[in-house]
């Protein structure tokens, strides 16, 4: 029996055929087919979907017992784990938002966000929640998840549960599943720093008269991710990031695809998992691609990745040479999306389109529209660069959690902007000319200089300072501190690190220090950051 005939046979039995033609030709068929499923895998360990649903309903009962209701917020301080998805589903059951916390953040940063979100409780891995004690201002219940051995191995740390924190597993053992239908999906309450440096929460507005937004996630399974029954989605990117979190939620909603969550990204380990599990769909960012391309040729050829048929990337700019090298290796499976937590996945471009339209991030998703406006809110003609305003009604409207997140100036009718600059060509492909004026994107993480500057100004040796982003071959950008020292004093990169490390997350700490006799300032008094950036970006030959 031939490959195609065997495929039709198993397809007729409602199974999903996942053997590559390369395996068939080379006689390497180890597993001939897999039953269609929608299971959850963490570090290779399987949780059947029925068990996952039961656990989510038990957690929803725990929420109810602790007074969590509609529109309340549950904070999540977890590394990649199946538990993350359990929390998302349990929040859907009780109509709560989930607040995704960056686990690199310092305790003071986390406490500030918890207060702004009015979180009812926090769930986190026990080695991470250990820093959240009453003496740092923690005043809400903490459900500590015993940190799995795979995460302890990857990140070190002590898995013991701290005094006064509740054992997540123990509560789950005694809880009865909540037997009610899910409420309207609130989704993620994600936090990002604003221009003032104070974190702001991006909250989706619930339309009680419209369709449940969870249906959007179901539709995006095919419209964005090209999922089909039996697909196998893999992510190693941190689930506190909005993109991998949303894509995993899409797969949950699609309800006919397996989800594979890796504790952290390892280049060769990723290739081994693709071959071992027959992965079909992946989320991968340029930083990961660079690490893959650095593998020796012998290692790259060692693994069969022919089951892959779709990859999506977001976040930092994707260098053209990296894009071409990945297409040459993996095939034309790559799609790039320009998105923002406030608005959603805005555009999509395939490998073929990317080669025909180099530098473009694609066309707006079906149902959406893009307008390019000048400073006076006039619509610009094709090819003219201006502020990018997007309307994506399927994602719903948003608001910010505090006054520092005021959206005045971000609206043009139903269209909204996050401050990026770009233009549309004659075929309606979007090109991004520049990003938000000051924001740094390093390894996919959004970093706002004002937040770092506010802390660095407290260092006695620092008279004046500015934080800028400089190009980095692996992470897209790196954080650079430009410092003018207090007379009679000096600073080093080591002393800056020592001062900032107890106060800020590590990814926000500068990787390079520039000492200036005097920082350049505009007539208005503002630091002329463009002059500080120019030497780095001119040498790199790019702006973003």
Beta-strand relationship, 339-340 and 344-345 = antiparallel
Higher per-residue pLDDT: 516 or 136: 516
Question: What is the pLDDT, as a whole number, of residue 517?
Answer: 92
Domain residue ranges in the chain: 3-36, 47-204, 363-436, 440-540
From the number of C-beta atoms within 10 Å of its C-beta (0-12, 13-18, 19+), residue 358 rates as exposed
Q: How confident is the model over 140-168, as pLDDT tens digits?
A: 999 999 999 999 999 988 899 999 999 99
Residue 318 banded pLDDT, cuts 50, 70, 90: confident
3-state SS class at 471: strand
Question: What is the pLDDT, as a whole number, of residue 436?
Answer: 67
Q: How confident is the model over 452-470, as pLDDT tens digits?
A: 887 898 898 998 899 999 9
Q: Which CATH class is domain 47-204?
A: alpha beta
Name beta bridge partners: 340: 344
Q: How confident is the model over 13-33, as pLDDT tens digits?
A: 333 333 333 433 343 333 333
pLDDT of 8 over the 50 cut: no
Least confident interval from 26-35, 364-373, 432-441: 26-35
pLDDT of 518 over the 50 cut: yes
Least confident interval from 248-262, 435-449, 477-491, 508-522: 435-449
Q: How confident is the model over 267-309, as pLDDT tens digits?
A: 999 999 999 999 999 999 887 898 899 899 999 999 999 999 9
Rg for the chain, CA atoms, rounded? 24
Question: What is the pLDDT, as a whole number, of residue 37?
Answer: 65
CATH of 363-436, one of 2.30.38.10, 3.40.50.300, 3.40.1160.10, 3.10.180.10: 2.30.38.10
Spell out the residues 6+ positions from residue 179 whose beta carbon is closer than 8 angstroms to its own. 57
| Cα→Cα distances 517→456, 465, 485, 520, Å | 17, 11, 8, 10
Please give the average per-residue pLDDT across 105-132, as a whole number.
94
The answer to whether domain 47-204 and domain 440-540 are alike in fold is: no
Question: What is the pLDDT, as a whole number, of residue 457?
Answer: 83
Q: Which CATH class is domain 440-540?
A: alpha beta
Name beta bridge partners: 480: 468, 512
Q: How confident is the model over 38-47, as pLDDT tens digits?
A: 899 999 999 9
Q: Round the average pLDDT of the chain to a whole number and report it.
A: 87
* Helix pair angle (267-277, 286-293), 10° resolution: 90
Please give the average per-residue pLDDT across 226-255, as a whole number.
95
Question: What is the pLDDT, as a whole number, of residue 311?
Answer: 97
Give the whole-angstrom CA distance, residue 189 versus residue 185: 12
């Amino acid at each position: 029996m031939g490959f195609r005939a065997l495929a039709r046979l198993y397809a007729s039995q409602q199974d999903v055929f996942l053997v590559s033609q390369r395996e068939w030709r080379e006689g390497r068929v180890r597993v001939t087919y897999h039953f269609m499923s929608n299971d959850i895998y963490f570090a290779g360990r399987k949780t059947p979907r029925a068990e996952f649903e039961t656990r989510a309903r038990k957690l929803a009962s725990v929420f109810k017992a602790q007074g969590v209701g509609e529109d309340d917020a549950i904070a999540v301080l977890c590394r990649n784990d199946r538990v993350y998805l359990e929390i998302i589903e349990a929040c859907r059951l009780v109509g709560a938002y989930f607040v995704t916390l960056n686990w690199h953040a310092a305790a003071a940063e986390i406490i500030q966000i918890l207060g702004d979100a009015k979180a009812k409780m926090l769930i986190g891995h026990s080695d991470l929640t250990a820093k959240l004690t009453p003496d740092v201002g923690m005043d809400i219940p903490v459900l500590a998840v015993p940190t799995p051995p795979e995460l302890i191995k990857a990140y070190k740390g002590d898995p013991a549960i701290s005094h006064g924190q509740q054992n997540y597993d123990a509560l789950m053992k005694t809880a009865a599943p909540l037997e009610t239908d899910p409420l309207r999906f609130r989704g993620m309450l994600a936090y990002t720093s604003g221009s003032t440096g104070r974190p702001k929460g991006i909250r989706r507005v619930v339309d009680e008269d419209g369709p449940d937004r969870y249906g959007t996630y179901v539709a995006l399974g095919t419209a964005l991710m090209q999922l089909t029954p039996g697909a196998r989605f893999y992510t190693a990117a941190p689930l506190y990031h909005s993109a991998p979190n949303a894509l995993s939620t899409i797969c949950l909603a699609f309800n006919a695809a397996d989800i594979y969550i890796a504790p952290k990204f390892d280049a060769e380990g990723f290739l081994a998992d693709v071959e071992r599990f027959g992965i079909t769909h992946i989320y991968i960012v340029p930083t990961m691609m660079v690490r893959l391309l650095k593998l020796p040729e012998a290692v790259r050829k060692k693994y069969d990745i022919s089951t892959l048929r779709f990859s999506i990337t977001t976040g930092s700019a994707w260098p053209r040479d990296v894009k071409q090298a990945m297409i040459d290796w993996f095939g034309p499976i790559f799609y790039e999306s320009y998105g923002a937590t406030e608005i959603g996945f805005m555009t999509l471009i395939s490998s073929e389109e990317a080669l025909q339209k180099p530098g473009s991030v694609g066309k707006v998703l079906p149902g959406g529209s893009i307008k390019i406006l000048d400073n006076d809110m006039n619509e610009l003609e094709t090819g003219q660069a201006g502020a990018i305003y997007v309307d994506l009604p399927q994602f719903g409207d948003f608001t910010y959690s505090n006054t520092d997140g005021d959206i005045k100036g971000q609206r043009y009718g139903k269209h909204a902007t996050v401050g990026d600059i770009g233009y549309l060509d004659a075929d309606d492909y979007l090109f991004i000319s520049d990003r938000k004026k000051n924001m740094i994107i390093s390894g996919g993480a959004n970093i706002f200089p004002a937040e770092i500057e506010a802390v660095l100004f407290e260092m006695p040796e620092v008279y004046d300072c500015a934080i800028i982003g400089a190009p980095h071959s692996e992470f897209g950008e790196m954080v650079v501190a430009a410092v003018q020292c207090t007379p009679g004093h000096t600073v080093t990169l080591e002393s800056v690190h020592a001062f900032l490390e107890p106060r800020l997350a590590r990814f926000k700490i500068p990787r390079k220090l520039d000492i200036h006799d005097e920082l350049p300032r505009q007539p208005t008094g503002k630091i002329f950051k463009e002059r500080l950036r120019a030497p780095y970006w001119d040498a790199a030959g790019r702006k973003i």
